[in-house]
Amino acid sequence: MATATTFSIIPSPTTSRLTLRRRSIRCLSSPAPTPPATVLSQDDLKKLSAVKAVEYVKSGMVLGLGTGSTAAFVVSEISDLLSSGKLSDIIGVPTSKRTFEQAKSLGIPLSTLAEHPRLDLAIDGADEVSFRYLGQVDPDLNLVKGRGGALLREKMVEAASDKFIVVVDETKLVTGLGGSGLAMPVEVVQFCWQYNLTRLQELFKKEGCEAKLRLDPDGKPYVTDNSNYIVDLYFKTPIVDANAAGKEISALEGVVEHGLFLDMAAAVIIAGKEGINIKTK
């Protein structure tokens, strides 16, 4: 008996995650039990948003390739489309050594900003997406990025792109940047890093900020691809004025870059319990 199978994404009544349910459609009428629903994991949601984002990619583009778990799905999807012939003449500009190694292993042609100072498109994940700002919907799609340690190269590549698309799952949405209570990274030179750690903590005293030097798994200072350290800022309350905060951080001598990506994203693709949601400016 011939059988066609379709899948539908529906909210589960017992969980906030998406549910994937299989429905069998048979050519001949015959009662059949419905298999139990399968809850989508966070990685499943990341892959959904990544697949949607790659729809923006066209043959002949120079692409900024992001860093992190969600961006890795994007790189893999682009490789699959190149292998199948659905995309061609793609050049990637990776935002980290890690992404370079992944893209190279998958056969994606690679280049640099020196050779391609203007990119058609960049796709990357984010650690936080501000969907409300001072009680209102955030019109600028402001982000926190860089918990993977690649914030400097990410910002350079994405600033050089005509369009920057962000891919996240719904857990990354916050009411004000810093609202997750997780790290907002600041890349600093190694020289006198303690001095800048103290200045950064003092700068955000009102937000109850705690500044910590990022360590690697061996307990040694984490070193970025650019041979710098990272000071992670942990906020008890969200940053009130992200634009002012970004300017104040950048003004500190010895600060290389910060993880506030402000007014840079053209669209944010969010995978969540209601399916795929796209926010644009």
pLDDT for residue 83 is more than 70: yes
pLDDT for residue 234 is more than 50: yes
Of 12-16, 109-113, 167-171, the range with the highest mean pLDDT is 109-113
Active site residue 154: yes
pLDDT for residue 28 is more than 70: no
DSSP string, 61-95: -EEEE--SHHHHHHHHHHHHHHHHTSS-S-EEEES
122-158 pLDDT, tens digit each: 999 999 999 866 566 678 999 999 999 999 999 999 9
Kindly list the structural domains of the chain, giving each domain's residue range(s) and its CATH number in brackets, ordered by start: 42-275 (3.40.50.1360)
Q: What pTM did the predictor assign?
A: 0.83
Residue 143 · residue 128 · CB < 8 Å: yes
Instruction: Please give the Cα distance from 35 to 31 (Å, whole number).
Output: 13
Closest CA to 121 of 165, 55, 168: 165
Of 43-47, 238-242, 249-253, the range with the highest mean pLDDT is 249-253
Of residues 39 and 198, the one with the higher pLDDT is 198
Query: Given this model, what pLDDT does residue 34 score?
Result: 39
Q: Which two tokens stand for residue 184?
A: 């907002």
35-51 pLDDT, tens digit each: 445 677 888 889 999 99
Catalytic residue among 77, 128, 154, 158: 154
Instruction: Please give the Cα distance from 5 to 121 (Å, whole number).
Output: 35
Share of the chain above pLDDT 90, in %: 77
Q: Which two tokens stand for residue 180?
A: 């997750």
Query: Given this model, what pLDDT does residue 133 score?
Result: 63
pLDDT for residue 273 is more than 50: yes
Angle of helix 69-84 versus helix 97-105 axis, rounded to 10: 30
